[in-house]
């Protein structure tokens, strides 16, 4: 069973997450020749104070 974990900043709509899940699943099905039911996607949403790049929190860059 292919398992995919996707980390992203919060703020996406439910519609965007549905579309992402659909497209990622389709890409895996086509690439790995498996059934859609076998693909599991775990989404981790992060607040901007939980991500840093270059020592600076994302919330401090906006």
Whether 2 is catalytic is yes
- DSSP per-residue letters across 3-62: EEEEEEES---HHHHHHHHHHHHHHHHHHHT--GGG-EEEEEEE-GGG-EETTEEHHHH-
| Active-site residue, from 1, 2, 28, 44 | 2
The catalytic residues are 2
């Amino acid at each position: 069973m292919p398992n995919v974990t996707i980390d992203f900043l919060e703020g996406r709509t439910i519609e965007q997450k549905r579309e992402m899940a659909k497209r990622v699943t389709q890409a895996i099905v086509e690439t790995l020749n498996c059934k859609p039911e076998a693909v599991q996607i775990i989404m981790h949403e992060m607040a901007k104070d939980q991500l840093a790049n270059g020592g600076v929190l994302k919330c401090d860059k906006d």
